[in-house]
Structure 1
Amino acid sequence: MKPTVTGWLGALALCGATAMPALVHAQAQAAMPAPATSVATPAPVFTPIPFAPANASAPQVPSAPDAWGGPRTGNEPTLSDRVVDYRIDAALDAGKHAVSGKEQLTWRNRSDREVRSIYVHLYLNAFQNEGSTFFTEREILTAHSGSRGAAKLEKGQWGWIDLKQVTQNGAALKWTFVHPDGGPKTDQTVARIDLAQPVPAGGSLTLDIDFLSQLPRVVERTGWWGDFNLVAQWFPKIGVLELPGERGATQVRWNVHEFHFNSEFYADFGRFDVTLTVPSDYTVGAVGEQQGAPVTANGKTTYHYLQGDVHDFAWVAAKGYKVLDGSWQGPGSPKVALRVLYPPEYAASAQPVLKASTDSLTYFSDTLGAYPYRTLTAVVPPYNASEAGGMEYPTFFTAEGYKDVTPGTVTQYAIDFVTIHEFGHGYFYGLLASNEFEEPMLDEGLNEYWDQRMLRERGQGLDLTNSLLRRTGFAPSISGFALERMSADLKQPYDPLGENAWDRLSSGSYGTVYSRTATAMHDLEERLGKDVTERAFREYYKRWHFRHPSAADLRATLIDVSGDAKNVNEVFDQYVYGTAHIDDRVANIDSEEVLPPAGSTVANGKHTDGDSTAQDKRIDKQREDWKKAHPNARPGTGPFPWHSTVSVVREGAPVPQTLRVTFADGSHQELRWNDDRRWARFEFTGPSKVVSAELDPQRRIYLDANKLNDSRTVESNGAASRRWSADFAALVQAFYSLLVSL
């Protein structure tokens, strides 16, 4: 359902509801007789703080230089500008898969005005019934395309979060469910809490909240299966108050979107101090550092975790789990304690996950910036809980599990890719803290791109071989970027990459945020150069880690470092903010010999008779003499020059192209086609004719929707079709092998 302006205005009215008592009081005071010696002063009118627009997406104006407190220099007392502090005491009822919690929320008002109401996300309410924004969008967005999160919940499998009590300095507060994006009235994923005392500009607020979280059966990103509990998005989390100059904001506004089907999260940096009480026979892992030894009493064990400079907290409690530990340290980073938690059936996955995590720490630290935390925990979900896999939180992520992880197989590639991807979120979602609601490309898309760069550096692609192919000696493989290109919907993209997560044609269109962003960044790297691109991304991380950048901030950084505004703007205008596509093709090759002209000619002031028969005989004689002198000459060469034309056609957006033309004598010539013409014709005159022409001979333009029409030969050649057929067959076999392994 697309939000409407009416829905937004309604939300603004709700936002201002707490202003009414003050306004009534002011009106009553104004009605009283004023002393004769004084002049009545009008009471200040309170202006409600609006929501970020329901259709918000990637801004085109860069953030102000001092946005989010300005770049972090490393000399500040904390890594981030901590806006919020959570102290949570939680206990798991393993039989009911429910968590009771007491939360003390302390929040700092960064704005220049008082705040009378705050807004909290209650994400688990997305799973309490089919009337939530999540479920109503799921029905629409998955109607014609697949998606994760498609599990059907039944009796006893729904999840929710109940606010039991909210107090401010001992005063009980009221709350109301609101719909910032104009979603269904039955959605309860955002609540407004009206304060007893407003928070002044620059002041702080402390709330005490009692809540109960009922986990759903694993459906997407969180939940339980058997004795496995992934506890994520489980506590009341305050929204983000954005200031003018931050991510396109022109006024103070609450960024607190409903929990949409395809969207993820966005929150302020802060500190988490959390105690978790679980049955003593359960294994626990969580965001952050464990403080001291666990305390056990009466069959329950309490763990204490502390982590600053993050914006979320998730944890796992599972019975029968095993633990694999490791460590890592790199330049500028503290010593990192790694831990992999895994079920016995997926023991084969533990060591590959640990190695991929360690390798990722090295690569991301070397290419973007040092990893600043002391822990990293990876969780392998159990059999039948795959929906809990492939999810990220700060210092904590879930991977995938396989019973057999043979080196060089599809499962090896799959487990490496998912582990690298989920770790990578620790940078693009975690440290850079992108707004995943409004700009999923900055997290999912850029992360996918950087993951594929890492795999490329490792020389690791998807091996398409199986036992039968190995015996025949045929061992095809496909690179990661080629895989991204195959699923990027390049021919007819419906949504810009910079569109928000929910205003999409389908979940399939949302899915291209991953692959099309990776493909677009790959092609931009080809234009700017590998080293320049890497320097630009290091600068992007340096400027914006522990802040909240926008797509416009990424574009500005790329331009500043590369100095190439033309190419950066072209890619952003066409793909991030637009839905352009590329499809350049070689349309025609035409060649003819340049023979002596037929007809009458003038010699010594006299016209010849134009005897065509005699002319033909002279031409034939010249050819025979030339063949005798050049017995091994290739077809398409001869005593006369050749005039050839190559026509190229542009079906989509312009892109800098290289055209390689090959001649019959084996020589070739390369030309640049870098303009806005819809078609171009190139002419060649020389000793041999053109026999083939190819656009993008070095295969650098992955955004081209149809690479099969990039080349043309004068004579048919079945090699390309045979190669594509063989690769496709191998890919199909590899896909079925992967299904069997799953």
Structure 2
Amino acid sequence: MRLATGRGGQWLAAVVLLWSCQVDAHTVTPAGTQPATAASVAAEAIPFAPAHDTIITQKSSPDAWGGERTGNEPTLSDRVVSYTIDADLDAAKHAVSGKEHMTWRNRSDRAVRSVYFHLYLNAFQNQGSTFFTERNVLDKAGGSRGEAVLKKGQWGWIRLQSVQQDGTALTWQFVHPDGGPESDQTVVRIDLAQPVPAGGTLALDIDFLSQLPRVVERTGWWGDFNLVGQWFPKIGMLELPGERGATQVRWNVHEFHFNSEFYADFGLYDVHLTVPSDYTVGAVGQLQGTPEQKDGKTTYHFVQGDVHDFAWVAAKDFKTLDGSYVGPGSPKVAVRVTYPPEYVASAAPTLKSSIDAIGYFSRTLAPYPYPTLTVVIPPYNADEAGGMEYPTFFTSEGYKYVEPDTWTQMASDFVNIHEFGHGYFYGILASNEFEEPILDEGLNEFWDNRMLRERHQDLVLATPFTKWLGLTPHISGFAVERLTAGLQHPRDPLAQNSWDRFSSFSYGTVYSRTTTAMHDLEARLGQPALEKAFRLYYQRWRFRHPSVADLRAALIDSSGDAKDVDQIFDQYVYGTGVTDDGISSIDTSEVLPQAGVFWKDGKQTEVVATELDKQIDQQRDAWTKAHPHPKPGEAGPFPWHSTITVVRHGVPAPELLRVNYADGTHEDVVWDDDRRWARFDFIKPSKVVSAELDPDGHNYLDTDRLNNSQSTEPNGAASRRWTADVAAVLQTFYSMLVTL
């Protein structure tokens, strides 16, 4: 999708790097050390990935990220990094003190003299961070998620207290790879005492203190609940030529943008968590042995390999509900739901839908490879901690009541399916959520809706009250996505990064417009072919880091249909195309004998109009006598010539035109070219009474389906359809009132 780094972009990135190190940096100098000089930084000459020119159209090289995993390797992923962390939660202050030992392998062909780390929690330390600066803009451009206002004592941050390389204290500076505000401190450069040679390994020992914010978005505390995400110093990604559009070695280490999420190397996490003994703990990975208690605190030991992040929860008075999944190709998966007492009604439905999701994704993509799945339901007033994914761990949403066949059940199921699905598209495929949210949020949303479709599970808008009234309005998941996709005025290509967006609504269409585009591609290729293509994409890129261009290549290679795949990608993924085809007119007339001079067999004859009229009348009378009781639509004495004119108000899309005749028959015609309009002529015994484009409803990308059909006679179907739509809207409104 994105041509990530042109020559100009690389030079600009290098200039930004030098400038940020000399002018826009905040230097923290531990005792006995000196900050790096501009000359030493220039000598490194490893630029940042572009901040804006991020759309990738060139597919990655076959050996990117070490090449396709065969399954015969000793580990699922090529483990580039490892973290051993000892963390101690101060529950009263919602603060975590940590000691981190990190090792990192230099995959490049050159020495690395400085490394870059994410300090994500600093996004919540003041209103001058990139996160809050962008939130203010996007709020004005159409609203956003995570609108909580932090008060005194509720800000969050992370402090590096010491960084050592083989016992030598190191210096660090805050930098701004994306040109964010000077007050942003979410990316830090650490200058090494000894460079890491090509292929060599770096070991750092880091002491840090993380102050959780009151829950704003994704992470934080509320009451005695602590969701600890993005809480430790985390090394950035060093990309090599041929990986995700890179043409040279580069650091891909973006600031924490408001709508962005994350991107990191696979590795091994070995984490000890010490919390008050009356707190319930859940985390990424497997619990090792029996937790150890001492002085009113308990230490839990979790280990997980072949993941790229680690999050955990510590909450007082929370309960757990356990289950398991057993399926071909997967280890036995221990599934645990951790929930607050007020949301006990959500526990069992969450467990069931999570286990169901493991089964569906395992069957349609590949077996789930991890032995655990932990689900956390946040408490009341911590909603923004819900709906967030980490490897083998996600947060859901809680409801006081979960009534069968109501919107609460559907909402609960969908959130669980969606957040689990991230375990594949964000977790195992490990796409760059900063730059290519389509590959995670978009594709995952599409696959979630496929699961709902298979389960025949619509979005039910009913409540107990409306059910008592006998009203159970519902709508399919794909229809909901289409309605919220902003198809008429798309502002940004789907392949655009997460921060260069017109508004948060435009970012939100990454979910719905991607789902709609993939739905239509599936309709063109066929469901089995599309699923086979996604399995190829997964097989190629599991435990690696694909780009949108790699997705396109897999779809084409599997299906063999470059035309349809390229059309969807060119128009919607890389572009902002709008589809709107309609029927302009239907004209019908009898094919009657013609007056005038005609030549036949070398002889000239003349047909006189007055005589012809008599002949036509005689033929009509004869037909009437022969058919005293004609059936509706029965062919008459003369054939009919019907002309249907179709028009195209947007980009080309393959269309099926269904032509319906008065005798009850129909025929289908394919319109699949680049013409802005077309006329189709039909000479048949019966006349055309109606015509419809896309009668089977495959083209969800069509922005206006009301102009897709036309009839030659009055038809009450449209008014009945509008009445039903209005009734559905009113029912939805009443459902919302009851909920409130």
Place the TM-score, normalised by the shorter chain, in its bin.
Answer: over 0.9
Deviation at 1:601, TM superposition (A): 7.5
Query: Scaled by the length of structure 2, what TM-score is found?
Result: 0.93
Per-residue deviation, 1:738: 4.8
Structure 2 matches for 1:621-640, cutoff 5 A? 621-630=618-627, 631-634=629-632, 637-640=635-638
Counterpart position of 1:53: 50
Q: Is the 8 A contact 1:222 1:232 kept in 2?
A: yes
Asked if 1:11 is matched to 2:16, the reply is yes
2:199 matched residue in structure 1: 202
Determine if contact 1:12/1:48 at 8 Å carries over to the other structure: no
2:686 is matched with which residue?
Answer: 688
Q: Does 1:517 align with 2:514?
A: yes
Q: Match of 2:390?
A: 393
Once the 2 structures are TM-superposed, how far is the Cα of residue 732 of structure 1 from its aligned partner? 4.6
**What is the alpha-carbon distance in structure 2 between the residues aligned to residue 230 and residue 581 of structure 1?**
41
Report the alpha carbon displacement of residue 86 of structure 1 after superposing the two structures with TM: 0.6
Q: Tell me: CA distance 1:354–1:8, structure 2 relative to 1, closer, same or farther (3 Å).
A: same
SS of the residue 1:688 aligns to = coil
Q: Distance in 2 between matches of 1:162 and 1:606?
A: 102
Match of 1:626, SS state, is helix
Contact 1:391 1:399 in 2 (8 A): yes
Letter aligned with residue 431 of structure 2: S
Quick one: distance in 2 between partners of 1:611 and 1:287? 89
**Other-structure match for 1:33:** none
**Would you say the 8 A contact 1:391–1:422 is kept in 2?**
yes
Residue 216 (1) aligns with residue 216 (2): no
- 1:78 corresponding residue in structure 2: 75
- Three-state SS of the structure 1 residue aligned to 2:667 is strand
Alignment of 1:558-637 (within 5 A): 558-598=555-595, 610=608, 612=610, 615-630=612-627, 631-634=629-632, 637=635
Distance 1:608 1:442, change over 3 A: closer
Please state how far the C-alpha of 1:686 moved relative to its aligned partner. 1.5
* Corresponding residue for residue 276 of structure 2: 279
Secondary structure of the residue that 1:140 maps to in structure 2?
A: helix
Instruction: Report the counterpart of residue 538 of structure 2 in structure 1.
Output: 541
8 Å contact kept, 1:141–1:507: yes
In the superposition, relative to structure 1, how do residues 624 and 146 fare at CA in structure 2: closer, same or farther (>3 Å)?
farther
Equivalent of residue 296 in structure 1, options 293, 296, 316: 293
Structure 2's unaligned 5+ residue stretches are 23-33
For the residue of structure 1 that corresponds to 2:298, the secondary structure is strand
Task: Check the 8 A contact 2:462/2:735 in 1, yes or no.
Answer: no
Are residues 7 and 506 of structure 1, via their aligned partners in 2, closer, same or farther at CA, if it must alter by over 3 Å?
farther
Question: For the structure 1 residues 637 and 741, does the alpha-carbon distance in structure 2 shift closer, same or farther, using more than 3 Å as the test?
Answer: same
Pick from 123, 126, 134: which aligns with 2:131?
A: 134
Deviation of 1:151 (Å): 1.5
Query: Which residue in the other structure is 1:727 paired with?
Result: 725
Residue 310 of structure 2: which of 310, 313, 318 is its match? 313
CA shift, 1:467, in A, is 5.5
Q: Deviations over 1:691-712 (max 9, x none)?
A: 1010111111111111111111
| Corresponding residue SS for 2:638 | strand
1:189 aligns with 2:194: no
Instruction: Indicate how the Cα distance of structure 1 residues 375 and 607 shifts in structure 2: closer, same or farther if over 3 A, else same.
Output: closer
Asked if the contact 1:269/1:309 (under 8 Å) is kept, the reply is yes
Residues 157 and 211 in structure 2, CA contact (< 8 A), matched pair in contact too: yes
* 1:228 aligned partner, one-letter code: F
Q: Which amino acid aligns with 2:171?
A: K
1:232 match: 229
Alpha-carbon contact 1:221-1:387 (below 8 Å) kept: yes
Q: Please identify, of 680-689 and 141-150, the stretch whose mean Cα deviation from structure 2 is larger.
A: 141-150
Aligned to 1:174: 171
Return the alpha-carbon distance in structure 2 between the equivalents of residues 710 and 530 of structure 1. 24
Task: Tell me which moved more, 724-733 or 137-146.
Answer: 724-733
Q: Residue in 2 aligned with 1:246?
A: 243
Q: Which amino acid aligns with 1:343?
A: P
Match of 2:119 among 119, 122, 128: 122
TM-score by length of structure 1 reads: 0.93
Identity of aligned residues (%): 68
Change (3 A) 1:199 1:740: farther
Q: 1:609, 1:324 → 2: CA distance?
A: 91
Cα shift at 1:592: 1.0
1:356/1:586 Cα in 2 relative to 1: closer, same or farther (>3 Å)? same
Work out the CA distance in 2 between the residues paired with 1:496 and 1:722: 36
Shift, 1:115, TM fit: 0.6
Q: 2 CA distance for matches of 1:608 and 1:307?
A: 93
Deviation, structure 1 residue 608: 6.4
Q: Is residue 2:403 matched to residue 1:406? A: yes
| Partner residue, 1:360 | 357
CA 1:212–1:403 in structure 2 vs 1: closer, same or farther (change >3 Å)?
A: same
1: CA distance, partners of 2:370 / 2:522: 30
**In the aligned structure 1, how far is the partner of 2:325 from the partner of 2:259?**
34
In the alignment, the residues of structure 1 paired with residue 586 and residue 619 of structure 2 have an alpha-carbon distance, to the nearest angstrom, of 26
CA–CA separation in structure 1 for the residues paired with 2:604 and 2:558 = 70
User: Contact 1:623/1:639 (CA < 8 Å) preserved in 2?
Assistant: yes
Q: Matched residues in 1 for 2:678 and 2:260: separation?
A: 43
SS at match of 1:639: coil
Quick one: distance in 2 between partners of 1:550 and 1:611?
71
Query: Any conservation in 1 of the 2:84–2:269 contact (CA below 8 Å)?
Result: yes
* Residue 532 of structure 1, CA deviation: 1.1
Q: CA deviation at 1:163?
A: 1.0
Where does 1:151-170 land on structure 2 (aligned, <5 Å)? 151-170=148-167
* 1:428 aligned partner: 425
Deviation at 1:477, TM superposition (A): 2.3
Q: Label 1:240 to 1:739 Cα distance change in 2 as closer, same or farther (>3 A).
A: farther
Q: Which stretch shifts more, 710-719 or 618-627?
A: 618-627
CA separation in 1, counterparts of 2:520 and 2:145?
Answer: 28
Q: Which residue does 1:447 correspond to in 2?
A: 444
Deviation at 1:471, TM superposition (A): 6.3
Query: CA 1:729–1:163 in structure 2 vs 1: closer, same or farther (change >3 Å)?
Result: farther
CA deviation digits over 1:492-525, x for unaligned, max 9? 2111110000011110000000011111111111
Give deviations 1:264-293, integer Å, cap 9, x for gaps: 000000111111111111111000011111
C-alpha distance 45-701 of structure 1, shift in aligned 2 (>3 A) = closer
Distance in 2 of aligned mates of 1:92 and 1:725: 58
Q: Give 1:607 shift.
A: 6.6
Gaps of 5+ in 1: 25-43
**2:21–2:173 contact (8 Å) kept in structure 1:** no
Correspondence 1:419 to 2:419: no
Q: Please tell me the residue identity of whatever aligns with 1:668.
A: H
Instruction: From the superposition, tell whether residues 609 and 59 of structure 1 become closer, same or farther in structure 2 (CA, over 3 Å).
Output: closer
Q: CA-to-partner distance for each residue in 1:42-79, whole Å, 9 max, x for gaps?
A: xx993411000011434111111111111111221211
Check conservation: 2:407, 2:463, Cα contact below 8 A.
no
**CA separation of 1:609/1:173 partners in 2, compared to 1, >3 Å: closer, same or farther?**
closer
Tell me the secondary structure at the aligned position of residue 655 of structure 1: coil
Rounded Cα–Cα distance in structure 2 between residues aligned with 1:476 and 1:22: 65
Question: By how many angstroms is 1:602 displaced?
Answer: 8.7
**Structure 2 residue 713 is the aligned partner of structure 1 residue 708:** no
CA distance in 1, matches of 2:19, 2:141: 36
- The 2-side partners of 1:227 and 1:45 are apart by 48
Rounded to whole Å, the distance in 1 between the matches of 2:393 and 2:657 is: 48
What is the Cα deviation at residue 628 of structure 1? 3.9
- Residue identity in the other structure for 2:644: V
1:332-343, aligned counterparts within 5 Å?
332-343=329-340
Q: Which amino acid aligns with 1:692?
A: S
Per-residue CA deviations over 1:176-204 (Å, capped at 9, x if unaligned) read 11000011111111000111111111111
One-letter amino acid of the structure 1 residue matched with residue 323 of structure 2: G
Inter-CA distance 609–715: structure 2 relative to 1 (3 Å threshold)? closer
Instruction: Give secondary structure in 1 for the equivalent of 2:685.
Output: strand
Say if 2:342 is the partner of 1:345. Answer: yes
Matches within 5 A, 1:15-26: none
Structure 1 residues 51 and 373, CA gap change in structure 2 (3 angstroms): same
> SS of the residue aligned with 1:640?
coil
Q: Which amino acid aligns with 1:691?
A: V
Tell me which of 665, 668, 676 is aligned to 1:667. Answer: 665
Q: CA RMSD in A?
A: 2.3
